[in-house]
Structure 1
Amino acid sequence: MALWRVRATVDDRPGYLSVLTASLALRSVNILAVQVHTTEEGAVDDFLVDAPDTMTEADLMAAVVKGRGRDAFVARAEAEGLVDQPTRALALAGRLVHEPDALAETVLPETLAALLDATDVRWRPEATTDLPGFHGGRMVLADPAGGSYEVLRALPAFTPAEYARAQALVEVAATLQRQDRARRQHREQIGMLLPDGTELVLRPAVQDDVPAVREMIEDCSPATLRHRFRGVTRREGAVADEARLRRLLEPSNGVTLLAVAPGSRVVAMATLLVEGDLGEATVLVEDGWQRRGLGTALMRRLHAHAEGSGLAALTVHVAADNVAMLRTLRRLGADRFERDGAQVSVTLATAAETPATSGQ
């Protein structure tokens, strides 16, 4: 006897599955497992069967056609196929739990390939115009962390159930990645002592900080928000937008730091975005925490991060009436101020630029 995988579409009407199984039984084909996928074209029946050694692929295909099956797919199977698909999916999800370090790069693509019997799985970090879904042997899965996965196989065509399982697996992986980052970043947090003796914690932001950061933003005055978000007001609704906050907290090309007061309350955030060898820094401090040295401390931290990353300079776009921030940047050594209307672009050199500058 030999194991085969058989997939065929039949009309989603009473009795049609029994016609197909009877046709297989008449040829001494033993059905070991079956799944039924409901689609717009009909019911897709996926069998794992044990057939006589003398039976060929053409014989099985003929039996399927005789049983009113269409769009048939027949291929030899391995003993691993005896595990039902829900159990198989759970086992593969368990692998994600035990190997969080390389989820996006290797583990998740390999897991998706095993789950779907795919020939190729590719992760796209950039935004794509393709909507999540599937067509034939191509599937696009949305990655909650950004980007998407493209999954390819020749035959058979993907089904809604397979797509749902794969998307669920991607979402499990994204959750595990966030939790792993949170654990690692928790270890990276440092204490901060303000000049007035107040103790804060400074740490990298994670996706789970969205509610706390939104609360901080809602507590900020319109003037403070205008200075940070260049004219955007709370009333316009764009500041606390969920998608925008998620991108802001974990930017793909930089880092966001949060200052956390006792009680896990976020009172300030600072973001460094990198493009080439230049960085752009922004700082937002809740009104009640301004003029206490917190903005200066955060800007120093971003400057140090830029130097450690080998950036040539740091640029800060400041409202012309934001006297406190302009004064802070001067204290940090900024010597280039370019005004354009109501905005001043300030350039702060880093140590990485010093050797080239001093040699001229």
Structure 2
Amino acid sequence: MTEVTTETNTRGRRRFRGRAERSRRVARHHWRRDVVELAALFTAVAVADTIAKTVVKGPRGPFMLIASAVALVATAVFHTWWARRQIHAPPGPPPRTAVPLAPPTSALTEENTETRPLEMPTTLWRMRTTVRDEPGSLAALCAALAALRVDILSLQTHPLAQGTVDEFLLRAPQDLATAELTRAVAAAGGSGTWTERADAHDLVDAPTRILGLATRTALDAAELPLALRQLLGRCTIRSVPAKSRARAAQNAPVEGRLDNCVMRLQDGEGGEIVVERPYLPFTPTEFARARALVELDARLGPRIPRAQDVLTLPEGNAITVRRADLADVEAAKAMHDRCSPDTLRLRYHGPVGDADKYLNHLLSPRYGRTLAVQTASGRLVALGHLLWDGDETEVALLVEDDWQRRGIGAELLDRLVAMAVEAGCESVYAVTRAANTGMVAAMRGLGLPLDYQIEEGTLVITARLDAGATPPRAEAAEHSGAESSGAVSSPLPSAVRPAHRDPGHR
């Protein structure tokens, strides 16, 4: 009982001290306010006395009385405002309210689910437009897109000398027409608007995508044209060798040149890479990114992945499929010497004596990818080329006479088409003679839609590709349990069986 009483007394003393402290504060507060009120009163009395004397002695008494009344009213208003300002204390904390608990999961019945609004089907778009470089221009553009219920997923800005190019990734309602979107952007101040359908790959942010392209370029020199195409969109890329460039474009600076829709970059071998995009001018930002990729490729020098597959032919011979480059030029020339003139004529469509002149171009990773087939003794017996021809892709095969009709050509063609699909190519074409039944049979064996064009004995076979699909013959081989490895791997045809893995393929 004594402890309870002591605690109660302590609390009482604390409350008394608190009240006393508040009383002193209020007293100080009232003292300051009283002083201000007295000063205002004395001022008002002095002004009234002065005005009264002036009214009595002056010729215009009524006017002076009216002025005195106005002054007194103004003084009263000011006094009232000052008093309220001093009396009002700062607002206290908001009152605590009970937070309603979330309904249990069992309360979410089918009836509640049916009342929720269904998600509207949407479409991804890439849009690029030019706006004035002034405050509020981007805000007006975003407001116009919001009015159409368009969601901005990402935004990149490309500064220009006059204006700014804004590149958007948009999620728009599926029923929104492109013309309506373009009109809304133009009304908001956008000019030169360009739109294109996007896909899930465009959801990756620009720095991550550029780093991925740089990694691919660092691992394989043949990836540079593909990386530039993915970086810049639909464009035509041509490689000009060093000798012809020295004769035709000596005025091009080392760091490259940008001319509206044409970009010229110097590669690591002294040649020139020409990139053209007629439908959309390049920006300085795109030019800087492309030049950085080309400089990275030039610093790293020639390189290809060293992965390889060891396969077994039906008669039991073991062959190795690997990537080839300029280091295989002499071995390829030796294979030319073992090939018959008819085989070389079917492959190169020209004088047989000029076959060796094409090897430096064909085996250079600047112009495409090459697969080589060699025997267990190291002899080169076949070559398969995937060549970047502007915005098109060519496939070509050469198999030594003694190794033909063993499934090697079909195996190389399968792998080349798989590479083209991986690179996002829409089609591949082969140029041969109508009498080359082996090449025609290999193209037909892909199981893809084919187009044939024959002109003066030259046959052009074009296979249309689906970037997300595998050729039917290769897909069937995958289900049969075929094995693959590395950058040169692809599903194997039934005529070629995998053998043991080369332990040194890394």
TM-score range, shorter chain: 0.3 to 0.5
Q: TM-score, normalised by structure 1?
A: 0.48
Which has more strand, going by share of residues?
Answer: 1
Q: TM-score, normalised by structure 2?
A: 0.35
> Which entry has the higher C-alpha Rg, 1 or 2?
2
